[in-house]
Amino acid sequence: MPFAEEPGPHALAAVSQAEHRPLWLDSPARPAPRPPLEGSRDTDLLIVGAGLSGLWTAVRAKERRPDLDVVLLEGSRIANAASGRNGGFMSASITHGHLNGIRRWPQEFRTLYELGLANLAGIEKTIADHGIDCGYHRAGELDVATEAHQVAELAEHAQRVAEYGVDLKPLDVGQARTLVDSPSYRGALLDPHVGLVDPALLSWGLARVAESLGVHIHENTAVLSVERNRGGMRARTVSGQVATGRAVLTTAAHSPLLRRIKAYVIPVFDHVVATAPLPGDLLTTLGGTDGPGVSDSGNQFHYYRVTPDRRLLWGGYDAVYSRGERPGSSLERDDRLTARLVQHMHDTFPQLGDVPIDYTWAGAIDTCSRFCGFWGTAHGGRLAYAAGYTGLGVGASRFGADVVLDLLTGEDTARTRLKMVRSHPLPFPPEPVRQLGIDITRRSLQAADANGGRRNLWLRTLDRIGLGFDS
């Protein structure tokens, strides 16, 4: 089913009545802001950025070394950026999908797969052990085919990953529509190792856990610089400074505090909508609140799921890049793009045509050319960083937290021996070539979806050199 490039008047009207605010942040459970850092202090470990990546780093640091003094600084509010603006899909994959991992690291993919399963189990254990009420359940994810050529591609996908011990369940059209009912479905693959979560509640819960372990968290504390300082590092903030033995940067799509990261990460803006709560008959056709998450199989794909409060959350399709834009940009609101998402939702689920849209929002994804996280150190090993999760950081960020801690301590672990950890993605070209290349890639992906999945010379060239752009 080809998706419309322009929204109809009904979709435009629906968006005009919506609140422009992330659904997850409109919650009575949102805690009051923690006080900013004032003045100067010393610490053993400083973490910059209190998204899921920074929160997991803080928690894992104290679990591994309870004696460490740990300070976590957040420039805004916890969960205000990407960690509170995503769809709440928590995948066991730490390679942004099995095929991406197999293509890039075939010899170590079985290890990567097992590490990903262990990572998801570790997240689930933390949620259970600390009573984090975040609506988590391991619901699985459907990858659905909406075009004839995608049915064959999903079958090839299942066969390919089975060679590496990954068990995905192929579903025919009837089986797929029994789980989630859309007239556009032609078949699906079910990945059982995916959870659904309220990401903001998870973030706030992890902050509580971190503080219970002794971590000092300061919100509304923008870090201006992180630089070498005698035997350690020093971070300057808007209202003070922190001297530290070791530092970790987890600033995702925000402007990097380490220049070298800029070559590898671009912020792309992903738009999302959420309906009003659904009545029981409609809820049943979408799988209910315990049903799986769903993504369709186009190059420009949608993801969607039912939330615990009975809404359909629908996002994806286009990923918008504009030179120089960062989180907080005006790109976080685009009513035409959002209305196009609503149009696609109505085309997929005609039964939702009269359901109001309550929320629209967008968030910036830290995207790299290999689509999954990368790590590194600087300043003689005193600083480590994690970046580039490309939308799958809800789950992979915990694995990444252990990687940066391994790197800081110089430990030889199964993680640090991975080629995935020891390598970097290919850098994006400098501007203005970067913007031009991304624009050409987006148009090429759109053309491939309209042309039976056939990739043009531009996309095939990017595939060969390992440089791409994910929708």
Burial string for 430-457 (b: 16+ CB within 10 Å, else e) reads: eeeebbebbeebbebbbebbeeebebee
Burial class (CB within 10 angstroms; exposed 0-12, middle 13-18, buried 19+) of 461: exposed
pLDDT digits 0-9 by tens, 132-147: 999 999 999 999 999 9
Give the pLDDT of residue 1.
62
Stated pTM of the model: 0.95
Sign for the CA dihedral angle at 451, 425, 192, 135 comes to negative
**Residue 74 and residue 220 in contact, taking contact as beta carbons nearer than 8 Å:** yes
Give the pLDDT of residue 471.
42
459: Cα within 13 Å, side-chain hemisphere: 17
The two three-digit tokens of residue 327, written as one number: 């989180």
Query: Tens digit of pLDDT per residue, the chain (471 long)?
Result: 678 889 999 999 999 989 999 999 999 999 999 999 999 999 999 999 999 999 999 999 999 999 999 999 999 999 999 999 999 999 999 999 999 999 999 999 999 999 999 999 999 999 999 999 999 999 999 999 999 999 999 999 999 999 999 999 999 999 999 999 999 999 999 999 999 999 999 999 999 999 999 999 999 999 999 999 988 999 999 999 999 999 999 999 999 999 999 999 999 999 999 999 999 999 999 999 999 999 998 888 999 999 999 999 999 998 899 988 888 888 898 999 999 999 999 999 999 999 999 999 999 999 999 999 999 999 999 999 999 999 999 999 999 999 999 999 999 999 999 999 999 999 999 999 999 988 888 888 888 777 877 888 888 888 887 765 544
Residue 227 pairs in a beta bridge with: 234
How far is residue 447 from each of residues 2, 453, 455, 469, measured CA to CA in Å? 11, 8, 8, 14
Sign for the CA dihedral angle at 108, 149, 296, 294 comes to negative
**Residue 49 and residue 5 in contact, taking contact as beta carbons nearer than 8 Å:** no
**Do strands 141-145 and 70-73 pair parallel, antiparallel, or not at all (unpaired)?**
unpaired
Give the pLDDT of residue 469.
52
**Residue 43 and residue 242 in contact, taking contact as beta carbons nearer than 8 Å:** yes
* Sequence-ordered list of residues with C-beta below 8 angstroms from that of 383, at least 6 positions apart, any chain: 226, 233, 246, 247, 248, 249, 258, 377
* Sequence-ordered list of residues with C-beta below 8 angstroms from that of 436, at least 6 positions apart, any chain: none
**Do strands 39-48 and 169-171 pair parallel, antiparallel, or not at all (unpaired)?**
unpaired
Strands (E), 373-428: 374-378, 383-387
Residues in the chain, overall count: 471
Burial class (CB within 10 angstroms; exposed 0-12, middle 13-18, buried 19+) of 224: exposed
**Residue 228 and residue 247 in contact, taking contact as beta carbons nearer than 8 Å:** no
- Dihedral, 271, 112, 47, 246 alpha carbons, nearest 10: -150
Cα 207 from Cα 216, distance rounded (Å): 10
